Amino acid sequence: MLRRTTTISDLDAPATLAELLDHHDYLADEGVTTAAYLALKMGRPLFLEGEAGVGKTELAKTLAAILGAPLIRLQCHEGLDAAQALYDWDFPRQLLHLKAAEAAGAADVAALEGEIYGRRFLIARPLLRALETQPSVLLVDEIDRADDEFEAFLLEVLSDFTISVPEIGTIRAATPPVVVLTSNRTREVHDALKRRCLYHWLEHPGFDREVAILRRRLPGCAERLAADVARTAGRMREAGLVKPPGIAETLDWAEALLTLGAVELDPALAAATLGAVLKHREDQETVRARGLLTPDGGRG
């Protein structure tokens, strides 16, 4: 299928973006479409918060596909520091260059130092690559997993899209990247960073939209099976599980059921494939104990 791309300047309304998202198989509701449209047109980072598996990362990937731009991903984690996010020096290559220069009899120390701290030996990490790549989409994934110090550093970079490399000078983005930050809300992100962004809380899809997503992503999925899976996944999300299923898990579940030739969800097959949708033993026990896999969802 031909995938349509566009530029930010050609986007004239949220409805246009919704059409493009749909064309790339991302079925968005009005809220997230409007937030993404405004972020693109206003040149502001988009801060997406919500439970894991609701489509935050997928939205960044789809925006990159729509803009025909590379997706540059910075995966956050505890202990992430500026060097890992910005740049590093290629020490093995610098050492080889020094040995080669020494073997050739190079005597100009200042010139040699200038060479080994030149751009050719600089390894660009995600933030620097995003600043130097136009156009690009920078995904700062799971910012809530990074430390407070890194959050403050990121705020500084996102304020003017400029970084300073002491040996080289200042590097400024000719055109700032599109920035999407995601958070699973394992902790509160500071207000200062949120103020720099447009914020949107992403919910799990409603029943009708989840059925549509299942049928769009899995063309062989019958409407009855898609409805059964979406309905049961919805019950699981209301059951207070350790890890309620996101859309990625329901897609995995429906695909597993399809692989086994299912056209509807019967309790035995649902129990046999439960590992495709729930990844915690406690959650599987809860779902079985409450009868959530039966046709009436344990209400009978």
**In terms of pTM, does the model score above 0.85?**
yes
* pLDDT at 107 (0 to 100): 74
Residue that the structure tokens 């899976």 belong to: 229
Burial class of residue 285, CB neighbours in 10 A (0-12, 13-18, 19+): exposed
Q: How far apart, in whole angstroms, are the C-alpha atoms of residue 171 and residue 108?
A: 27
Q: Report CA-CA distances (Å) from 292 to 3, 238, 298.
A: 39, 11, 5
φ and ψ of 273, to 5 deg: -110, 15
Q: What is the DSSP string of the chain?
A: -PPP---GGG--SHHHHHHHHHHTT----HHHHHHHHHHHHHT--EEEE-STTSSHHHHHHHHHHHHT--EEEEE--TT--HHHHSEEE-HHHHHHHHHHHHHTT---HHHHHHHHTSGGGEEE-HHHHHHHSSS-EEEEETGGGS-HHHHHHHHHHHHHSEEEETTTEEEE-SSPPEEEEEE--SSPPPHHHHHHSEEEEPPPPPHHHHHHHHHHH-TT--HHHHHHHHHHHHHHHTTT-SS---HHHHHHHHHHHHHTT-SS--HHHHHHTGGGT---HHHHHHHHHTTTTSTTTT--
Asked if residue 256 lies in contact with residue 220, where contact means CB atoms within 8 angstroms, the answer is no
Q: How far apart, in whole angstroms, are the C-alpha atoms of residue 140 and residue 57?
A: 9
For 154-185, give one letter per residue: b (16+ CB within 10 A) or e: bbebbeebebeeeeeeebebeebbbbbbbbbe
Residues lower than pLDDT 50 in the chain: 1-2
* pLDDT at 2 (0 to 100): 47
Asked if residue 207 lies in contact with residue 230, where contact means CB atoms within 8 angstroms, the answer is yes
Q: How far apart, in whole angstroms, are the C-alpha atoms of residue 25 and residue 226?
A: 16
* pLDDT at 150 (0 to 100): 93
